[in-house]
Amino acid sequence: MTTSSLAYSKSTVSLRNGFLGVLIVHRGEMRRHRTATDVGTAVILACATVVASKQYFLKTALLPFGAEIPGQALGVMTLCVIVSIGGAICGVEAVPSIAETGQIQGALLTHLKPWQIILGRMLAAASIPLLTTIISAAFWIVTSAVSSSGQAGKIRFHEIISTCAIHLLVLAHLSAMAGISYVAGTKSSPGRGVISGILAGFTALAIGSSAVVLINPLLDRIAHPETLIYSALLLSPIAGIAAQMNLDPLRGDLLYSKVQAHDYQFSYPTAGAYLLLFAAVSCICLLTGSMQLRRAYR
């Protein structure tokens, strides 16, 4: 057993206890990270999303439609884009490289399950997007609490719950993007396919973001396209964030002239539907990645 694999082998007797194994792998991987750098980067990214929420920024030529979007909504949408891109990159980073072959083989010999190794490495690789989302959630919760208590004399808990829901949606989409790029970046032998993994993640993100526009030619050919519209919206976390904040993006200035979906009686998916879909994609990717890992290092 190599020295690097010893980080995974501590408390071997307890490794069968599910998430304890994940924590052991995560702790071993985090030794390669500089905590101060990760936290500092997350703070900078979170501050960028807050800057994006300012009304003066919305009125620029870059975002002429932004005047209709509340600051918090655009801030969280910006966060979602940043975190989703980060997820596509972090998923590939979590795939073991050729240099880590001995470490992974040693980890498998210590009774660690493939899913524990993948999940522990994924959490470590995605530390910056995770921290960014947590900081953003904390900022908007505090802002909402202070604003509501100052105006109405009491805290509006439904706003806090809504803020938590949209940030959970962002985390769920991060998990799905990371899972897709991990599976696509895994080879049948030790090593990682960086280009294929990142391309798969970015392609999934692009399809999800533009699905409502892509289905435009099909709407006139289907008798009742409401289900198709619902499915297309379900792929876009941006639409989920907007709907959760009582916005109607398909009837806004940006998309109204580009889509026909607004002509039909459709409904936006709930936050629970988004969470269920992204959680299902994450679980499927984790199961697929586990089989790939065991096959590559058998």
Question: Quick check: pTM over 0.95?
Answer: no
| 190 touches 181 (CB < 8 A) | no
Q: Six-digit token pair at 208?
A: 């999800």
User: pLDDT digit of tens for each residue in the chain (298 aa)?
Assistant: 444 444 555 444 444 567 888 888 888 888 888 888 889 999 999 988 888 776 544 444 344 444 455 677 788 888 999 999 999 999 999 999 888 888 888 888 887 889 999 999 999 999 999 999 999 999 888 887 776 665 555 667 777 888 899 999 999 999 999 999 999 999 888 888 899 999 999 999 999 988 888 888 888 788 888 888 889 889 989 888 888 888 777 776 666 667 777 777 888 898 899 999 999 999 999 999 999 998 888 7
Q: What are the sequence ranges of the domains in the chain? A: 12-206+280-296
Number of other residues whose CB lies within 10 A of the CB of residue 255: 17
